[in-house]
Amino acid sequence: MKDWLADRGITSRIYYPLSLHLQPCFSFLGYKKGDLPVSESLSQETLALPIFPELLPEEQERVAAAISGFYRK
């Protein structure tokens, strides 16, 4: 979906490509890859969409329409 949105001029980001338990700052907890499989899976599937107070209603509609278009294809 990230590419689909980008092709339509809509920026999206993957903010947490690595689950928190695998981040270096939490290494002292002793978790390793595979310990929290749901978290690890979601970190690969979650996409941050444009959302901020100044986002105009017509921009919101454009983002929503692009997402709908992705799932209709």
CATH 3.90.1150.10 fits 2-72, yes or no: yes
Task: Please name the amino acid found at residue 54.
Answer: E
**Average pLDDT of span 32-59:** 94
Residues in a beta bridge with 48: 13
Share of the chain above pLDDT 90, in %: 86
**Average pLDDT of span 18-32:** 95
Please name the helix (run of DSSP H) or strand (run of DSSP E) that holds residue 40, with its range, or none.
helix 37-45
**Residue 6 confidence (pLDDT):** 97
Q: Taking the model in full, what pTM does it have? A: 0.72
DSSP conformation class of 33: T
**Average pLDDT of span 18-47:** 94
Size of the chain, expressed as the number of residues it contains: 73
CB 32 within 8 A of CB 24: no
**Average pLDDT of span 61-72:** 96
Is 16's pLDDT higher than 90? no
